[in-house]
A = this chain, B = another copy of it.
Amino acid sequence: MKIKLSEVAELIGGKITGDAGITIDNLAKIEEAQTGELTFLYHPSYEKFFNSTKASAIIVKPDFKKSRKDITYIEVSDPNIAFAKLVIHYLKPEFPLEGIDRTSSVHPNAKLGDNIALGKNVVISSGCKIGNNVKIFHNTVLLEDVEISDDCLIFQNVSIREKCKIGNRVIIHAGAVIGADGFGYYNDDKRVFHKIPQIGNVVIEDDVELGANVTIDRGALGSTIIRRGVKIDNLVHIAHNVVVGENTAMAAQSGIAGSTKIGKSCLIAGQVGIIGHIEIADNVTLIAQTGVSKGISKPGVYFGAPAKEFRTAMKLEAHVRSLPEYAEKIKKLEEQIKNLQEELSKVKGDI
């Protein structure tokens, strides 16, 4: 890798200040960058590294104070996106997996498209259909009648149960379990649970990414649906018959209970829990650890358990922190009242 900085600036639509003639040989984090490397500054907490970074060039916002003369600046409106574009352009990882490994097991009636790579011990069961340009890594298992479209990347030790459908350009990370039985029982009069067979499936639309050890249960009846463009982080749980709307993101360890419908372009932070049988509107942001126990019909930011509008939650939090002061004030008021009562009695006596 040996790239002219002018080429980089053009690619990201940036303005160079300083020596535009240099070349760079790598991208690196600001605190680790070495001479010859390009870095970026996108989060204020990293400005402390600016004076000491050894990077030869840095991507910054237009208003950044260019106090060092020994470094070349590229100004763009969003350094994070600019840097991401460079990583995608120059450093996109390629996975060397190719061909159908002889230890993989493909049922004779399964249909495989062109340019399929199957790793060691991969199991493709009866009735499966796989599109073109799909890589499935070692020890991953597809039960019967699973359908996978084109250009998917499915890492190792993934489990996809029968009848689930995966769209195009889907990425599934290691250990994910797609289509396990939903948590569905009924109680008899002795409080013994009886299993309700879970006979639906999971539908994952195009451009979805699912993190490591994620679990997405199959519908009890009908489908659990992850809409186009949804991104789901590690260890997230999605229960049966949930629908997650387009371009929604869910951070690690959050969970959604059965039959709930999440809107489009929601941002669900880590360790959030959402109760079953409710609807969340589009463009809802849920702060980390929020517990949603009722439907949310209004876009906005929510926090707390039970969830409240963020401003309300923060206001209440401030009030809670003031409780010792309030208690003190109440005590003082009680004393003052007592004194007033006494004084008043005295006054009355004096009249």
Contact = CB atoms under 8 A, between A and B. Distances in A.
Contact of A43 (B184, B209, B277): B277
Interface string A156-176: 110101100000000101110
Copies of this protein in the assembly total 3
A159 B159 contact: no
A242 to B, nearest CB: 11
Nearest to A175: B177
Interface residues of A, number: 118
Contacts of A137: 141, 143
Interface in A67-111: 78, 80-81, 84, 87-88, 91-93, 96, 103, 105
B347 A194 contact: no
B234 A197 contact: no
A316 to B, nearest CB: 6
A271 B305 CA distance: 12
B340 A329 contact: no
A172 to B, nearest CB: 10
From DSSP, what is the main secondary structure of chain A's interface residues?
loop
Interface stretch (A10-18, A26-34, A52-60): A26-34
A347 B29 CA distance: 74
Given A257-B288, A337-B340, A347-B348, 5 more contacts: A29-B221, A159-B174, A159-B212, A234-B237, A319-B324
29 contacts: A28-B221, A28-B222, A43-B277, A80-B186, A81-B186, A87-B221, A103-B121, A120-B141, A137-B143, A155-B180, A156-B159, A157-B159, A161-B174, A171-B181, A181-B209, A183-B233, A183-B249, A183-B252, A185-B249, A213-B215, A217-B234, A235-B235, A239-B252, A252-B255, A308-B321, A326-B330, A333-B333, A347-B351, A350-B351
